[in-house]
A and B are shown apart, each in its own frame.
Chain A
Amino acid sequence: MTTPRSKENHTLFLLTVGLLAWLIPGAGHLLINQKKHAIVIFVTIVLTFCAGLYVGSIGVINPVGAKPWYVAQIMNSPIVAALGYVATTGDYSVFGRPNEIGQIYTSITGLLNLLCIVNAVYLAHLRKTETAGD
């Protein structure tokens, strides 16, 4: 009777790792005791995302006019949704090269964070499997 319960706990743990990794870039790796990885991921993703916002302003987060980009940007963190709301309610229109660079930067960081989420969940799963194997 203990096996199904531990399996449930394991699934819950994997979900927590994935959710935390999405909430704060690098937090998933922190949860599985990979402190250095977490710091490197957090600093790089946050700096690159901020660089994108600096170049193109928060107007590059456009949930209405640039949905495909927004899907990638939201992978950074749920905070992007709040920024998207602010951007659509205010007048933050941006065009041309700053818009392109800002969108590319913020979207690529979102996809990089997705890679980190998947990696953190995979490593968490792998550790459990290895522990069970021992």
Chain B
Amino acid sequence: MSITDAFVMATFTTPEKIGANPQSMLWLLPLVAAIAIVYKATKLPEIKAANFLKEVVILFGSIVVFMSITALVLCAFAWLITE
């Protein structure tokens, strides 16, 4: 096995070091992008670069904004209960 093969194998057999901190929540952004892209690919009858990108960005933004609002409401709710 060459060094390159071993390196590729190692990247998929050992987990990354990710702490349980607020920054780790940013990992949701690539996933939201993937969801928006695949969803729009199934919904649009024809894919044209500009229109597809616009639709994906709108859906991506909507999901992120809605999740942020939900997080804020839950934070406020938790603060009200614990205060």
Contact = CB atoms under 8 A, between A and B. Distances in A.
B63 interface: no
Q: How large is the interface on B (under 10, 10 to 19, 20 to 34, 35 or more residues)?
A: 20 to 34
Given A115-B42, A116-B42, A94 B34 contact: no
Q: SS class of chain B's interface: helix, strand, loop or mixed?
A: helix
Interface string B1-39: 000000000011111111110001001001100110111
For chain A, the bracket of interface size reads: 20 to 34
B73 interface: no
B41 A37 contact: yes
A67 interface: no
Given A48-B31, A98-B16, A119-B42, 12 more contacts: A36-B46, A37-B41, A56-B15, A57-B12, A98-B15, A101-B24, A112-B34, A112-B35, A112-B38, A112-B39, A115-B38, A116-B41
